[in-house]
Amino acid sequence: MIPVIGVEEQRIAVLGLGRSGLSAARALREGGAHPICWDDNEAARDIAAGEGFKVSDLSRQGAFDDIALLVTSPGIPHLYPEPNRVIAAALAAGVPVDNDIGLFFRSFAAQGFDEFDTPPRVVAVTGSNGKSTTSALIHHVLSEAGRASQLAGNIGRGVLDIDPPEDGGVVVLELSSYQTELARALTPDVAVFTNLSPDHLDRHGGMGGYFAAKRRLFSEGGPDRAVIGVDEAEGRFLANQLSVGPSDDRVIRISSGTKLTGPGWQVFARKGFLSEYRKGRQAGSIDLREIKGLPGAHNHQNACAAYAACRALGLAPRVIEAGFASFGGLPHRSQLIAEQNGVSFVNDSKATNVDSAARALMAYGRIRWICGGLQKEGGLAGLAPGLANVVKAYVIGREAAAFALDLGETETEICTTMERAVARAMEEAEPGDCVLLAPAAASFDQYDNFEQRGDDFTARVRANLG
């Protein structure tokens, strides 16, 4: 645990008692604060009360009298589409609002760093797609290289639940826009921006607000090194804002598909080969084509981001390459779950938006595509670059017919359920085909989360394979 500093004897409100909220309450108590906890869910309140926390309705009149700080969970809106009533009350009372990420950064560097020969470091990864794979890949490479590493944030453990840092250790954080937009302290040593595509626009009041939430990771604390994906205009703008000139190697630009040139520090992947250039000279290269845990151009972009972050931490190219080779990928993210009779079965249930699904479609050849669910705003036009690889789409979800209509001339079959979609795709699959779950939609019309959807796909494939 990372005890929160500077909160001794303070009454601090905690809103939302899921993983991040409970861990924040524990870390606050460990730091000498008196947490006042609330969640609209009675079961969550009972768990907190069972751990000895004071539970009190934070929406009642006068709830913020003598409260020094409100710590809120990331899923609770504080501005758009409208503030949660408890957060609105805190804002009206002038009570500062923070989250567990802000508490972590204000407390982490106070953990006895003066005693270490090599101070621990923090790598923080954000972006629209690829955050989880990039974060896990950095953590894996570090661990394989013998470096003490912990994975936390939006993946792995809660940030305040991690172990106290070791000499030379690295904490790798995956951070969503929900986490970066509100944290009052953001001071990573290395910050990574993978890419940007429309997502969560209602929460951020549009694309500009969404980008601004991501940008805070770089503007608030000023990382020693910034790894920036420059395949979109926002990434190019961010890299430009952070650098003082073309040769400023505090910014490492990365790309999947474009050769980057100039006197600075660049890492890019083209035709399956990763290349690193520094001061106009090649400094490293990796053949990514045979690394099964990193298929497709979108994963090659993740590889570039992870490579750049690991190089910024001082790892040699061959050490990074060895880590890449043993990386098995993450569940629900381009996860190869089976191969039989020349047909591969891939679970990419995490492809919950159009951009991530399009990237998955471009990673494979002949695809029997299981898609559909709760559509996000913006339509399906962004899928066009990958639809040429689709032999047939098997559409699931409560609004499967409407989803299928939006796919234009792509051959479709309305299956509605995962059970029927998997069965039909497997009946019709031929050698060389890939049966791919990449929904391009949220899961909430049929499942609690994308993990449950991916697990259902995996279970039905394996049951049919026998």
Average pLDDT, the chain: 95
Q: How many angstroms separate the most distant Cα atoms in the chain?
A: 68
Residues comprising the chain, all counted: 466
Give yes or no for residue 314 having a pLDDT over 70.
Answer: yes
Residue 132 among known ligand-binding residues: yes
Span 268-272, average pLDDT:
96
What amino acid occupies position 405?
L
Q: How far is CA 408 from the centre of its chain?
A: 31
Domains of the chain (ranges plus CATH)?
Answer: 11-98 (3.40.50.720), 106-325 (3.40.1190.10), 335-465 (3.90.190.20)
Give 281's pLDDT tier (boundaries 50, 70, 90): very high
Span 305-331, average pLDDT:
95
Q: How far apart are CA 16 and CA 7, in angstroms?
A: 19
- Name the helix (H) or strand (E) containing 350: none
Closest of 269, 283, 281 to residue 318, by C-alpha:
283
Q: How far apart are CA 152 and CA 139, in angstroms?
A: 10
What amino acid occupies position 86?
V
- Name the helix (H) or strand (E) containing 352: none
Residue 131 among known ligand-binding residues: yes
Q: Walk across the sheet containing 366-371 and list its strands.
A: 335-340, 343-347, 433-437, 366-371, 390-396, 412-416
Q: How far is CA 211 from the centre of its chain?
A: 15
Which of 47 and 116 is assigned the larger pLDDT?
47
Q: Summarize pLDDT for 192-202 with one digit per residue, the tens.
A: 999 998 888 89
Residue 133 among known ligand-binding residues: yes
Closest of 76, 224, 73 to residue 160, by C-alpha:
73
Strand-pair category, 149-153 with 225-229: unpaired
Q: How far apart are CA 394 and CA 396, in angstroms?
A: 7
Give 111's pLDDT tier (boundaries 50, 70, 90): low
Span 451-460, average pLDDT:
97
Residue 344 among known ligand-binding residues: no
Read out DSSP for 104-151? HHHHHTTSSGGG-SS--EEEEEESSSSHHHHHHHHHHHHHHTT--EEE
Q: Summarize pLDDT for 213-259 with one digit per residue, the tens.
A: 999 999 988 899 999 999 999 999 999 999 999 999 999 999 999 99
Residue 129 among known ligand-binding residues: yes
Cβ count near 42 (within 10 Å): 9
Q: How far apart are CA 384 and CA 380, in angstroms?
A: 8
Taking CA atoms, 197 is separated from 355, 389, 396, in Å, by 7, 22, 24
Phi, psi of 439, rounded to the nearest 5 degrees: -65, -30
| DSSP code of residue 442 | B
Give yes or no for residue 282 having a pLDDT over 90.
Answer: yes
Give yes or no for residue 110 having a pLDDT over 80.
Answer: no
Which of 35 and 165 is assigned the larger pLDDT?
35
Give yes or no for residue 453 having a pLDDT over 90.
Answer: yes
Q: Summarize pLDDT for 346-396 with one digit per residue, the tens.
A: 999 999 989 889 989 998 999 999 999 998 877 898 999 899 999 999 999
Maximum mean pLDDT: which of 21-35, 109-123, 152-166: 21-35
Beta bridge partners of 228: 193, 253
Task: Return the ∠ at Cα 242 (arms to 171 and 284), rounded to 5°.
Answer: 65
Residue 219 among known ligand-binding residues: no
Contact (CB, 8 A) for 15 and 86 = yes
Span 10-20, average pLDDT:
96
Residue 449 among known ligand-binding residues: no
Q: Specify the pLDDT at position 47.
A: 96
